[in-house]
Structure 1
Amino acid sequence: MTNTDTNWYLINDIDQLDTPALVVYPQRVQQNIIQLISMISNVQRLRTHAKTHKTREGALLQVKAGIRKFKCATIAEAELLAQAGAPDVLLAYQPTGPKQERFFTLIVKYPDTSFSCLIDNTGTATQLSDHFLSNGRVLPVYIDLNVGQNRTGIHPDKAWALYEAAAALPGIELKGLHAYDGHIHHKELEERRKLVDAAYEPVAALAKKIKDKGFPEPVIIAGGTPGFPVHAQRPAIECSPGTFIFWDNGYSNECAEQPFMPAALVVTRVVSLPDAGKICLDLGHKSVAAENELTKRVVFLNAPALKAVSQSEEHLVLEAGANHHYKVGDVLYGMPQHICPTVALYERAITIENGCINGEWRIAARDRTITV
């Protein structure tokens, strides 16, 4: 099974599948995991992100392959990873308000998993320290660094004071630094490498200062998918790709140097022929991520020339051209531009093996709460 298998996605018993549907090809998922491990010097340097698959099965396949460290964005994702037996889980989020108590409860409930989280200010660090200290525990934390995403984190040049202050708090244990460079999306790898290296430079400088000041050498967790080939070449840092497990059209075009295969699709049917040149599918906003420009939300593997002209909650209208051959009931296989939020739109993914439906993966962490 390779990228050259042009009909790899076809489902032989497609008449048994209602649409719209999210489908996953587990054999391809396994190959993507193997491919990822081959791209780094040591599997222990991988800290893969669960945001893409949000499934117990996806986590189990990675644990079985030897991946021991994971990253997630929600407490539900963290719980799902613990349920799958993940030994080490970073909540790549700074818990505030009720999340602090939920996170504490999660840690108590799953003692076999080592949990940690992010901080980017002394106020939150102090709250977490007080909470865990009062309950007789110490929480491992990483300082979240803003390296250009301008979303969360503290700038590396201003982080030393936070590091020094957090190191003095008795209820938390500083493990290291977290630097997500998700704003870097250059298609050409060498240009992307320059930008990734430039964003990483102040992180490395901060890490050196920490060590020079007599603190233990900090663990550095850096990058996502676009920066993975760059960070993987550094000797020690942990890397956090996530999309690799399913892949999507966005990264297929943007990160062509990464040889991952599409392993999850949306399947849809023609439900109407609104005029001579257009077709309508049952693939609305509720079925494929709609944050991208209309014509770049999904590409159909068996109909790549179709162009979207409008979309609503339950419908996607496409220009098919005069004298097109499409009819009501025809099946189209779509590769989303962005698979991560697309997965979150579905309660389950139907698994396809050897061209046939054979089960499902529940998207358990699409919910904000599992039990905690």
Structure 2
Amino acid sequence: MQSPGSPFTGWYVAGNAGELETPALILYPERIEANIRKMIDVAGSADRLRPHVKTHKIPEIVQLQVRHGIRKVKCSTIAETEMAARAGADDILLAYQPVGPNIQRFFSLPRKFPSKKFSCISDCESILRELSDHASVTGYKAHIWLDINAGMNRTGIEPGEKARELFRMISLLPGLVPAGLHVYDGHINERNVENRIKICDEAFAPVRSLIEDISIMTGAPVKVIAGGTPTFPVHARRENTELSPGTTLLWDYGYGSSFSDMQFLYAAVLLTRVISKPSGNKICIDLGHKAVASEMPHPRIHIEGMHDYRVTGHSEEHMVIETTEAGKINVGDHLYAIPWHICPTVDRYDTVYVSEGGMVTGQWQVEARKRKINL
């Protein structure tokens, strides 16, 4: 739409959208910066934040955070880690236990970027010994965050005696430095904020006991990296805790419709075109599986300016929509849609458009979409 008869008037409109190829993803730096300021406000200071770069994988967004004093980040891949270092982050966590050749790749990071601090997570004695061996050979110390399973049951060791002994092992193995505990509770998605706080605190209670045990053992405070996007405001109340939201930078309709207490701005919008009208009440747009995150049931997008619609078909390059508004829409019209899940949506694109002042003014490379950049 934004063609004769149906102009859009929202914040997302790009005046030169007609010149852009579709499907495309448009980012809005002013809104990203507003979200960064909100993150800092929730955290209490920029130094408490360690945002996850997996949401965007873009150096310019790391640079925006650095400009606001956020110099620590969290990554899932070596490529993201390398990108973040090149973009200006100083303290970079690989929140993914390195195994196999990735151990050697991890140790290539301090050699390439000697002024940066790199760390990783681990929950396994044999991997800790491998990391220690590589540290001894390379001469680089490895800062290790013990990965704790706080109920998500994806990675990590359950808090308890075994975790305490593994932390002690990190402090004893040559070349390893215990950095603290990594506690990701991505399974907590309770919409009601009071219930979310209660569930989060209950899940964290065994971790608190572990922190006390380790503090007694070491005679020093224990640093913690905790939370994802839904729970980072809860963990912001805890002392000596860094916070790791990610989706907050771009926001998406999944979180926006689930967490009304989190006042972040949508800063990423899909631009798509109508490519066919197969029947009177149906349109087909160029927003297939390869253009938007599709790992969840519908809805996978929220179409701005359209009020009565449902997706009836979705394949690799096509999305079919049934709508009572089809009569107002022509083949070739463009639509704006907010993705339900932004992180894998960004990963569909090599480049994204950048919109400032109501016009697309440039492009950013999704540099860490690659599994390997140089290292």
Give the TM-score category using the shorter length.
over 0.9
Q: Secondary structure at the match of 1:359?
A: strand
Letter aligned with residue 271 of structure 2: V
Q: CA deviation at 1:360?
A: 0.7
Residue 91 of structure 2 corresponds to 88
Q: Secondary structure at the match of 2:220?
A: coil
Deviations 1:209-250 (A, max 9, x none): 011113432210000100011111223210000011100001
Alignment of 1:237 with 2:241, yes or no, is yes
2 CA distance for matches of 1:246 and 1:140? 30
Residue 213 of structure 1 corresponds to 217
1 CA distance for matches of 2:97 and 2:245? 20
User: Which segments of structure 1 move beyond 2 Å, counting only runs of 4 or more?
Assistant: 321-324
Residue 13 of structure 1 corresponds to 16
Q: Pick from 305, 324, 327: which aligns with 1:324?
A: 327
Identity among equivalent pairs (%)? 45
Residue 146 of structure 1 corresponds to 149
CA gap of 1:323–1:75, structure 2 versus 1, over 3 A, is closer
Alignment of 1:267 with 2:271, yes or no, is yes
Task: Say whether the 8 Å CA contact 1:308–1:319 is kept in structure 2.
Answer: yes
Q: Secondary structure at the match of 1:82?
A: helix
Alignment of 1:63 with 2:66, yes or no, is yes
Alignment of 1:204 with 2:186, yes or no, is no
Alignment of 1:191 with 2:195, yes or no, is yes
Residue 307 of structure 1 corresponds to 310
Q: CA deviation at 1:329?
A: 1.1
Kindly report the root-mean-square deviation, in angstroms, between the aligned alpha carbons of the 2 structures.
1.3
1 CA distance for matches of 2:257 and 2:372? 34
2 CA distance for matches of 1:108 and 1:83? 13
Letter aligned with residue 324 of structure 2: G
Q: Pick from 54, 60, 74: which aligns with 2:57?
A: 54
Q: Pick from 71, 82, 87: which aligns with 1:79?
A: 82
- Listed as ranges, the gaps of 5+ residues in structure 1 are none
Task: Say whether the 8 Å CA contact 1:51–1:72 is kept in structure 2.
Answer: yes
Letter aligned with residue 135 of structure 1: T
Aligned residues: 367
Residue 252 of structure 1 corresponds to 256
Q: CA deviation at 1:258?
A: 1.1
Letter aligned with residue 136 of structure 1: G
Residue 115 of structure 1 corresponds to 118
Q: CA deviation at 1:53?
A: 1.1
Residue 296 of structure 1 corresponds to 299
Alignment of 1:346 with 2:352, yes or no, is no
Task: Say whether the 8 Å CA contact 1:72–1:89 is kept in structure 2.
Answer: yes
Report which stretch shifted further, 158-167 or 55-64: 158-167
- TM-score norm. by structure 2 comes to 0.96
2 CA distance for matches of 1:223 and 1:112? 28
Task: Say whether the 8 Å CA contact 2:283–2:326 is kept in structure 1.
Answer: no
Letter aligned with residue 49 of structure 1: H
Q: Secondary structure at the match of 1:48?
A: coil
